[in-house]
Structures are given as C-alpha cells and as structure tokens.
Amino acid sequence: MATPLKKRELQEKNEKIRENGEDTSSSENEDNESDVVEDLGMEIQVDFEGRNPQDPDYHGIKTLLQQLFLKAHLDLGGLTDLIISQNYVGSVVKQSDDEDASDDEDDDNNDVFGITTVVNISDRQVEANVPCIQQLRDLLRQLASEHATDTVNTMIKNVLENDSAPLGLLINERFVNIPAQISVPLLENLVSEMKRATVKKMPFNFSYYILICKVYKQAKKQSNKKSKSKRKNALEEPEILWSNPEEEIFAEEATFSFEFSVEKDTDSGLSGTWSENDDEMIPYRRVLLFESSKLQPIIDKIKNQLS
C-alpha cells in the first residue's frame, strides 16, 4: 500500500510550524498533524505486511479475538497461545518496518492490526488436551442449537462429530479501518502454508471450514403507516454492513449459515461518529459453514472483485 505522507514527513512539517513561532505543545501535536494533512489535501496511509505470529503479538491477537467472540465462554488466552504455537500457519498484520524510523518508533511495530489463521477444531484435537478447542466446539453446538434452523443445526453437529471430515475454524479478524484488499495475500498465504503443513503430516487437511463474521443490521423502525405498507416493509431485508467486506463473498458460497444478535454482549454497535439522523446499527455474528474445495475459488472471486 502506498504511503503518500510518512510519519517522518509529518514531523518535519510540524517542525516548520514551530519555527514560525506558532504554539505547538505536545498536547496539540495530533491536532496539528490533522491540520497539516487537511491543508495539504492528503491522506495518511500506513504500509502493512503479514508476518508469522510470535510471542510479542500475544496481547494484540487476544484483543482481536475479544472483539470477535465478545463475552462467549472461551479461553481467549489459550486460543491465542495455540495460534502462536502453530506459527508456521497464519499471519498477523503489522506495520511495515520503516528504515528511517527512530528508536522511539520501534514500539509501534508491536501493534497487531489483524490476524488470519485457521485452527483445527475436529474431535480428534480434543484428545490433545487443549481446553479452548473443546470450548469452541461447545460454543458452536450451543449457538447452532439456539439460532440455526433444524437442518443447519443437524449439519453442524454432524460435521463436528465426523472424524473423517476434519473441520477448521477460519479466523479472519482485523481492525475496521484496515482495507479489504489486504485479505487476498493473507488468505493466499494461508492456503500455501496449510498445503506445506499437510505435506509434513500436520493436521491442516480440512474437509470443511467454519467462519464467524461480524455484520451489522439497521435497527427496525416503528411505523404508523397503513397495513399494506407494513406488509411491504416486512418483505424488505434490513441493510447489512459487513465489518470485513470480503466475507460477504464467503457467505455467498457457504453451504449453511445462521446468525444471531450480540447487541447485549457489546457496549455499542459499530464504532465511529454518529449523528441523530444516522440509522442505528445492531451488531450480529453470522456463522458460515463451507466445503474446503470452495476456499480457493472464493479467494479468486475476492481478488477479482476487489481489483
């Protein structure tokens, strides 16, 4: 990703402002940066890259998992440790190293902006005595039982219990301001790493994947219109906003899916600045189940659409 205005350039421009005698105390630095960018008509962009998860990424990965699973009964610390332990598969999104960066800026590179990986949650993995795997399986059973149709519920339970059809939990999580284009190299790299791991007899040859997506829906509005209008509105689907836009393509190719509201598990809907005229967006989770053979075609479709 291009970087029209680097952080160092921004600092140099602030230095010029200070030289002109303007008051630029440390508490106003961020405001000055914004003013400079606005005056120049530019956007600040950051270069990102994917790297294998490492121990220093623990807190960043755990934070991303927290925003996906919220208050679910799940040992996120254990899941984070598992992701890091299998660092030969999966990537974290971090800020690219800047050769000109000062030592004071090195800490910024420890921030994790995204995680794309897969975890084997097949029944056989429970024997490895990893509690978070059993918790993930129990969570999926519970969610399917409470929110899925009978057909989908039966399918998910069958997949969970079928040792001959290994199941992978695909984790594709990042902060909301990271562009969707970054998903293509991350997913392509994940596929390549899974193939290499499978050659080495590691348990990454899956028959199915489950992906949990973050979506937001418009809150339903009360109306005093005539019954005919009400019937018409009832047929209209509420507007859906995908936190990760590429996951809508996964949904189109999914074999089965179900969704549920997490409004009670989060303090707010979608982060950002809202006005009185904005429609309220309710947070949901959509669970997708799809065959492993569809993963590469899905990635190709995402690449074509994003290009």
Instruction: Give per-residue pLDDT as tens, 165-175.
Output: 999 999 999 99
At residue 177, the pLDDT reads: 82
Whether 25 is covered by a domain: the verdict is no
At residue 225, the pLDDT reads: 52
Which of these, 152, 173, 217, lies nearest to 69 by C-alpha position?
173
- Tokens matching residue 154: 């039966």
Task: Map tokens 């690219």 to a residue.
Answer: 96
At residue 221, does pLDDT exceed 90?
no
Whether 1 is covered by a domain: the verdict is no
Whether 127 is covered by a domain: the verdict is yes
Whether 36 is covered by a domain: the verdict is no
Lowest mean pLDDT across 1-5, 193-197, 201-205: 1-5
Q: What is the pLDDT of residues 83-96, one digit of tens each?
A: 999 989 999 999 88
Whether 116 is covered by a domain: the verdict is yes
Q: How far is CA 206 from CA 167, 291, 299, in A?
A: 6, 9, 16
At residue 228, the pLDDT reads: 52
Other CB atoms within 10 A of residue 292 CB: 16
Residue 46: pLDDT band (50, 70, 90) is confident
Whether 59 is covered by a domain: the verdict is yes
For 277, how many CA atoms within 13 A lie in the half-sphere containing its CB?
A: 0
Residue type, 250: F
Q: Which residue has the higher pLDDT, 286 or 265?
A: 286
Q: What is the pLDDT of residues 12-32, one digit of tens each?
A: 444 443 444 444 444 444 444
Percent of the chain with pLDDT over 90: 58
At residue 287, the pLDDT reads: 98
Q: Which residue has the higher pLDDT, 44 or 266?
A: 266
- Tokens matching residue 196: 């290499």
Residue 77: pLDDT band (50, 70, 90) is very high
140, burial (CB in 10 Å: exposed 0-12, middle 13-18, buried 19+):
buried
- Tokens matching residue 10: 């921004």
Percent of the chain with pLDDT over 70: 70
Q: How far is CA 95 from CA 6, 174, 185, 195, in A?
A: 12, 13, 15, 27
The alpha helices in 4-128, defined as continuous H runs, are: 7-19, 29-40, 58-69, 76-85, 123-126
At residue 97, the pLDDT reads: 73
At residue 236, the pLDDT reads: 57
The number of domains in the chain is: 1
Task: Give the residue-averaged pLDDT of 260-267.
Answer: 86
Tell me which long-range contacts 253-256 makes (C-beta under 8 A, separation of at least 24): 253/290, 253/294, 253/297, 253/298, 253/301, 254/288, 254/289, 254/290, 255/155, 255/208, 255/289, 255/290, 255/291, 256/148, 256/151, 256/152, 256/155, 256/156, 256/288, 256/289
Rounded to the nearest integer, the mean pLDDT of the chain is: 80
Which residues are paired to 188 by β-bridges? none
Domain span holding position 157: 42-306
Q: How far is CA 229 from the centre of its chain?
A: 38
Whether 186 is covered by a domain: the verdict is yes
At residue 145, does pLDDT exceed 80?
yes
Q: How far is CA 185 from CA 32, 53, 281, 303, in A?
A: 35, 16, 30, 9
Whether 13 is covered by a domain: the verdict is no
Q: What is the pLDDT of residues 233-253, one digit of tens each?
A: 544 566 899 999 999 999 999
Q: What is the CATH number of the domain that holds 62?
A: 3.40.630
Residue 130: pLDDT band (50, 70, 90) is confident
Q: Three-class SS of residue 84?
A: helix
Residue 42: pLDDT band (50, 70, 90) is low
At residue 45, does pLDDT exceed 70?
no
HEC string of 232-300 equals HHHHCCCCEEECCCCHHHHHHHCCEEEEEECHHHCCCCCCCCCCCCCCCEEEEEEEEEEEHHHHHHHHH
CA dihedral 251, 256, 262, 265 (to 10 degrees): -110
Task: Give the residue-averaged pLDDT of 78-107.
Answer: 79
Using an 8 Å Cβ cutoff, are 89 and 82 in contact?
A: no
Q: Which residue has the higher pLDDT, 18 or 195?
A: 195
pTM above 0.85, yes or no: no
At residue 261, the pLDDT reads: 95
At residue 138, does pLDDT exceed 70?
yes
